[in-house]
Homo-oligomer: A and B are copies of this chain.
């Protein structure tokens, strides 16, 4: 069994959880609009054109209301009570572009913002907010042919239950009934689950748009729960890959290959994951080098040439992270891999941290490199 000491990896998540973009000295533009991730009809939270977020929460008899986002540290944004019983507050500076998890502390208890949709992260359903990004077009819902996201329940003898996975099938999958497709197995991070890549990551829309633009050959994506939350935060050394590896290799892949029209071989099977899902990807691809031909670690560590030595050669090693993480480590690893004769590509997401905007962009970069 391979063990990793990736506590440094997860330290990013803490440090960047409330990450602010460069704070400007200009005035706050009063062009706030509801976040696109609000619950239907909800006016708050709002975001402005500079990336500031404003929160408004009804709690007329509360003594303190604080939002976990906005000050770049543990403080978050302290809201101020108005005479109407609504607490209101604006982040101290612009937020990084893209998706952020947050929660609201009301009189010492942690709750969600009733205005925002919820997203599974930190082993709980958290509130989510979307800061419009300059490059948001690549994951926008557009008038193009759309694939499907299918919820499957597959039998798992090793865990004695039916387990859930989501399967993205590209547009045309139902029409082209003689065509078979490559498959990417795509893992979430610690504290998340199989809903993350669709809900937070918009993986299906990234794919629909890339396919509509003719930039990729259509493929299937499979997303399941990586059993990452069985380990407590900071106790990553205690994590054992075997239970999830068994589910993935011995149960899910055979199920997918027998229930979808897949190209069921190494050269048409990829595995990638973000953060702790990257750690899982590295471990499993090294344990099972005959199963996957393409590897991707998104803010999830690196491979060294020594890791790969003596095994079936991967067709691609893709390594990425945000520029606010440790891009030098990713770049150096890719330089080393290339020098050792491996096909390896790095990608650094500018001005983002250990958050989903990094991973949306990473998938957008990775997808065109797969199954060449």
Contact = CB atoms under 8 A, between A and B. Distances in A.
Interface of A: 39-41, 57-64, 85, 104, 106-112, 114, 117-118, 123-125, 141-143, 146, 148-155, 161-162, 167, 174-175, 177, 198, 204, 208, 229, 259-260
26 contacts: A39-B124, A40-B124, A57-B109, A60-B107, A60-B109, A61-B63, A61-B64, A61-B108, A62-B107, A85-B109, A104-B111, A109-B114, A111-B112, A114-B124, A118-B125, A141-B153, A141-B162, A143-B155, A146-B152, A146-B154, A148-B151, A148-B167, A149-B150, A150-B150, A153-B208, A177-B177
B107 A61 contact: yes
Given A63-B61, A125-B39, A149-B150, A107 B110 contact: no
Nearest to A58: B109
Contact of A143 (B107, B141, B162): B162
A19 to B, nearest CB: 24
A161 B198 CA distance: 19
Contacts of A61: 63-64, 107-108
Given A118-B118, A125-B117, A60 B150 contact: no
A109 B123 CA distance: 24
A330 B177 CA distance: 46
B112 A60 contact: no
A151 B85 CA distance: 39
Given A123-B40, A125-B39, A259-B174, A107 B108 contact: no
Most chain B CB atoms below 10 A, which of A40, A64, A85, A208:
A40
B151 A106 contact: no
A11 to B, nearest CB: 23
A114 B124 CA distance: 8
A90 to B, nearest CB: 19
A317 B24 CA distance: 65
A129 to B, nearest CB: 15
